Amino acid sequence: MRVLIISTPVDTHFLPMLPLIRALTGAGHQVLVAGQPDVTGPAGAAGLATATFGDAFHYAELRRGRRPEGLRPIEVLGRPPAQQIDGAAQMWRNHAPYFLYDYLELAREWRPDLVVSEHMDYAGAVIAKVLGVPSVWHRWGVAPTSEFMLGQTRMWLGPLCERLGLDRVPAPDLVLDPAPPALAAPDAPPAIPIRPEPHTGDGTPWTYTAPPGRRVAVALGGYTLDLGGAPLLRRLLDALAEVGGVEAVVSAAPAHRAAIGTLPAGMTYTAERAPGLLFPGADLVVHHGGPGSTLGAAALGIPQLVLPQLGEAFVAGDRIAAAGAGLTLDSAELQNDGAGLVSAVRTLLEEPGHRAGAAHLREQIEAMPSAGEVAAELEQLTLRQEITA
């Protein structure tokens, strides 16, 4: 089976598909990843065949916008309304036509049997329909696009599909969802579960040396630091120091470390970002609500403190808190309150309730179908398509 993978140009949209891609290649299937350098770079680093189109998208620069220097987005705009979070799909709907014809030309030449794309990419299902092969969407977080926004997307892409000879905007034949039941959106369009796996990259796993109960992984994400997050991280580190006895691994690129400052005793910088390398062995993960961090910590059964800054990260924080697996501080006032950070960290490290909630999430995830099992289902989907064609 030949599988074409397409992703919007954001590495955190692509990386959650890696376990499924590895399951497909491990089963002997051919995989080709198409996209802009933001995606084909990580894909190539993972040893996958790639086809690169265009220049890098630089998503972080788009997020930066005209934000005043020194202020985080949450300090300027506050928490976005639910409609605005869902409306992020509009940007990727607008992006879809830019490379769709390039991807279609590649697909006609390469002749895939299946097209897999993440759920913010709207080109994959169109290309698959033109070729007469099945398509699959792979969600990457806990905030899927709503039925209403999908309807809006299909309406706006209608003329493009007509030019390609399609009578309507196609929906994928199958949708995969890595969110366990306790984190899944209750009103999400139907999907098949797929077990999320923490991304490991090719680095070395972190080794914690402190006794259990005081081990903390801090991973606020590159976007948070790029968007003025150094003071927030400094405030968090001071809170960890005040709690006392904490060993922390702090993910931050070297370019941000001068603004963050010297780390308190027991804390160490790392440039590593992969949850699968930083989170195992931790008693608490503090992060920004990104999909990799949220589902990575959930898969490992670790309580979470979520400090969201943008978009769907607020939804992730809400779901973690509602599941009893952690806390979220979803306003600038809460995040900028040093005493509140101390209280949140102490609660998550010292009180057992959130550990029980995190363990329940891990149990739910372990019961979900593995990437290998889903890959076998995709084989059957392709065979069924061939039989009915």
Instruction: Write down the pLDDT at residue 63.
Output: 66
The CA angle 305-366-297, to the nearest 5 degrees, is 20
Of 219, 224, 229, residue with least CA distance to 259? 229
Look at residue 41 and tell me whether its pLDDT is greater than 80.
yes
The phi and psi torsions of 134 (rounded to 5 degrees) equal -70, 160
Q: Does residue 66 surpass a pLDDT of 70?
A: no
Share of the chain above pLDDT 90, in %: 81
Question: Residue 380: is its pLDDT beyond 80?
Answer: yes
Q: What share of the chain is helix, strand, coil (3-state, %, to 5)?
A: 50, 15, 35
In whole angstroms, give the CA distance from residue 31 to residue 18: 11
Question: How do residues 72-111 score in pLDDT, each as one tens digit?
Answer: 989 988 999 988 888 888 889 899 999 999 999 999 999 9
Query: What contacts 330, CB < 8 A, 6 or more positions away?
Result: 79, 306, 308, 314, 317, 318
Q: What's the confidence (pLDDT) of residue 187?
A: 82
pLDDT value of position 69? 76
pLDDT tens-digit map of 242-300: 999 999 999 999 999 999 999 999 999 999 999 999 999 999 999 999 999 999 999 99
Q: E strands within 290-348? A: 304-306, 326-328
pLDDT digits (tens, 9 = 90+) for 357-368: 999 999 999 999
- Which domains can be identified in the chain, with CATH numbers? 2-196+369-388 (3.40.50.2000), 215-366 (3.40.50.2000)
H-helix or E-strand spanning residue 118: strand 114-118
For residue 192, the 8-state DSSP code is E
Over residues 205-211, the mean pLDDT reads: 93
Q: What is the pLDDT of residues 174-191, one digit of tens each?
A: 999 999 999 998 888 889
Mean pLDDT of 329-355: 97
- Of the candidates 9, 13, 323, the residue with the CA atom closest to the CA atom of residue 184: 323
Task: Note whether 114 and 135 are within 8 A (CB).
Answer: yes
Number of other residues whose CB lies within 10 A of the CB of residue 59:
17
The pLDDT of residue 77: 87
For residue 60, pLDDT over 80 is answered with no
Average confidence score pLDDT of the chain? 94
Residue linked to tokens 């306003």: 331
**Nearest C-alpha neighbor of 136 from the set 382, 366, 373, 365:** 382
DSSP-derived letter for residue 368 is S
Amino acid at 263: L
Q: What's the confidence (pLDDT) of residue 201?
A: 84
Cα–Cα distance for residue pair 173/293, rounded to 1 Å: 28
User: In whole angstroms, what is the distance from residue 293 CA to residue 298 CA?
Assistant: 8
Q: What is the pLDDT of residue 64?
A: 63
Which pLDDT value is given to residue 153? 85
